[in-house]
Amino acid sequence: MKETLLQLVKQPVVVDTRSPWVYIGTLAEVRSDCLLLTNVDVHDSGETAIPKERYVLDSCKTGVHPNRHSVYVNLEYVVSVSLLAEVIRF
Strands in 68-74's sheet, in edge-to-edge order, are 68-74, 34-44, 21-30, 12-17, 78-83
Which strand (E) or helix (H) includes residue 5? helix 2-6
Class of domain 2-83: mainly beta
Residue-wise pLDDT for 9-33, tens only, equals 999 999 999 999 999 999 999 999 9
| Burial of residue 41, with CB atoms counted within 10 A of its CB: 0-12 exposed, 13-18 middle, 19 or more buried | buried
User: N- to C-terminal Cα distance for the chain?
Assistant: 28
pLDDT on residue 36: 98
Per-residue pLDDT of the chain (90 residues; tens, 9 = 90+): 788 999 999 999 999 999 999 999 999 999 999 999 999 999 999 888 888 999 999 999 999 999 999 999 999 999 999 999 999 987
